[in-house]
Amino acid sequence: MKEKAKDSQFLTDIKILRERARKEIEKGAVTPGYRADRKTVINLLNEALATEVVCVLRYKRHFYMASGINAQSVAQEFLQHANEEQMHADQIAQRIVQLGGEPNLSPEGMLSRSHSEYVEGKNLVDMIKEDLVAERVAIDSYREMINYLGNDDSTTRRMLEGILAMEEEHADDLVSLLEEMGEK
Ligand SMILES: [Fe+2]
Ligand SMILES: [Fe+2]
């Protein structure tokens, strides 16, 4: 018995954990062991959410415009990115709710909450370049958020690391498109 207690001395007693869980049940996934500043994390995630929504809209616009000028392979890339940005938005919104916050999907102020811009672009090359700028902005802001979180909220951090990896892939795809078009 004593041996066992020694083994688990760094763990909080299971009975205390259960009591706490019961008492704070209304806080959902946020337990007293949550070390990050919940409000700040929710605010940051809402900015990331706005960024993703603006990216969905910009990629969709570019998809339809590229389809119109018969640039099918580029259009398909835009569409794929739009769908993946939508997945990111959903993941982020879900995490905000888990943290006891509310996802801000109000169109009002969406663009000012977003880190990336909504630029329509005059032609195909322009569109790709604008998307690349937006991806690079997203990459930097995700990196900053990940650093900020450190070990204080590893679930959010892991989610953001997954998203960051995909934004890097997006940027890479866009660079390849520009190269194919002799633009780089
Ligand atoms: Fe994204
Ligand atoms: Fe992206």
* pLDDT per position as a tens digit, 50-67: 999 999 999 999 999 998
How many Å lie between the centroid of ligand 1 and the Cα of residue 52?
5
* Nearest ligand to the C-alpha atom of residue 159: 1
* Nearest ligand to the C-alpha atom of residue 163: 1
How many Å lie between the centroid of ligand 1 and the Cα of residue 35?
26
How many Å lie between the centroid of ligand 2 and the Cα of residue 151?
25
Note whether 51 and 116 are within 8 A (CB).
yes
CB-based neighbours (< 5 A) of ligand 1, an ion: 52, 85, 88
Q: What is the pLDDT of residues 98-121, one digit of tens each?
A: 999 999 999 999 999 999 999 999
Identify the pLDDT of residue 42. 97
Q: Residue type at 102?
A: E
* Nearest ligand to the C-alpha atom of residue 77: 2
Burial class (CB in 10 A: 0-12, 13-18, 19+), 165: exposed
Identify the pLDDT of residue 3. 47
- Mean pLDDT of all residues in 117-135: 95
- Mean pLDDT of all residues in 42-53: 97
How many Å lie between the centroid of ligand 1 and the Cα of residue 89?
7
Identify the pLDDT of residue 7. 54
CB-based neighbours (< 5 A) of ligand 2, an ion: 135, 167, 170
